[in-house]
Amino acid sequence: MRQAVAFFALFTTLLLASQSVGGSDYLDYNIHIIKDGSALWTITQVTDIDSSVDSWEEFEERVFTTVNDAIDCTGREMAVDLASLEMKTEIYWETSSKKIEYRFRWENFSVVEERQISFGDVFSDEFFSLLYGDGELYITYPAEYDLKSVSLAPNQRENSTQTLHWYRTQDFLVGDPNFLLASRDAVSNEDFPLFTVAVLGSVTFGAVTISFLILKRRIKRKEKLPKSDEFSSWQEIENDQERILQLLRSSGGNLKQSEVCQKLRFSRAKTSLLLTEMEKNSLVRRRKKGKNKIVFLMETKEGQNL
């Protein structure tokens, strides 16, 4: 009798524990710093299977708003690689939960000067509330760099993977987050022995080969995805840019940026980032007039770029 009671109590405890884990929410931010100053962001959200999640437009709006706020705070030019935006959902029926991953590449996230990379100026007090709120934070940096300074020590640090981990983003924002990375390469190429050069050459060749194979696999994987799983594509981006061009043509070649937002029903953040990308490609140019920005079409009557 006692054994039966003990078994029932143990079974009940395990059942309640499994239900608690299955229904719990989890959120983490993973920022991978790249040598060119950009950063790859992956935001992972685990929630109950019946909980509502962002639509593609809501995810896009959060990213654009966050980057535009960082531009205002730092005064530096930044952008989102529109082709990098990605949203993926996985369902786990055994735990009645689902995992959502949001990915994007943030251009000019860091400041690169000579052999150092510094970052942290984008993090305002409200930074993570513009995204998905408080969660865990992981920052990884290139293997060729050493961490010289950090304003707030992480809760965990894994040197083998160059990873810094904070348990809560609200603790991370205490003070002014500031990071400095310094390159380990302090020797000129002329001082390398021939053997070292040969080894580096072999490693580089191997890395290029592996990168090519990985890229090839990713392309094949994307080709296999059904169209319903493709949340964003270059075609959508080009369509949005073409709508802006058509609007400017029908408006005599120039228009206020606020009118572009209103007429096309784009958000201010999305419009700003689209126009930034179009300026890089010499499709439009903008001039500030008072509190407004005027958008000019960079085409002649024959359709040639000016």
Total number of domains constituting the chain = 3
Handedness of CA 24, 101, 163, 39 (dihedral sign): negative
170 within some domain: yes
86-106 pLDDT tens trace: 999 999 998 899 999 999 999
70 within some domain: yes
What is the spatial distance between Cα 296 and Cα 97, in angstroms, rounded to a whole number? 49
Compute the average pLDDT of residues 205-211. Answer: 65
Q: How many CB atoms lie within 10 A of CB 98?
A: 18
What is the spatial distance between Cα 280 and Cα 142, in angstroms, rounded to a whole number? 28
Least confident of 94-98, 169-173, 179-183, 230-234: 230-234
Are 171 and 200 in the same domain? no
Which of 175, 174, 148, 181 minimizes the C-alpha distance to 31?
Answer: 181
Are 66 and 161 in the same domain? yes
Are the beta carbons of 270 and 79 closer than 8 angstroms?
A: no
227-239 pLDDT tens trace: 444 444 556 677 8
Are 194 and 173 in the same domain? no
Residue 37: pLDDT band with limits 50, 70, 90: very high
pTM for this predicted structure: 0.62
Q: Left (φ > 0), alpha (ψ -120 to 50) or beta: where does 182 sit?
A: beta
- Give 15 or 124, the one with higher predicted confidence: 124
Q: Alpha helix locations (H) across 92-228? A: 127-130, 169-172, 194-224
Are 168 and 244 in the same domain? no
142-168 pLDDT tens trace: 999 999 999 888 999 998 899 999 999
pLDDT for 222: 52
- Give 259 or 17, the one with higher predicted confidence: 259
10 within some domain: no
Are 272 and 123 in the same domain? no
pLDDT for 268: 84
Q: How many CB atoms lie within 10 A of CB 201?
A: 10
115 within some domain: yes
Are 52 and 132 in the same domain? yes
275 within some domain: yes
Question: Tell me, what CATH number does 104's domain have?
Answer: 2.60.40
Three-state DSSP at 235 gives helix
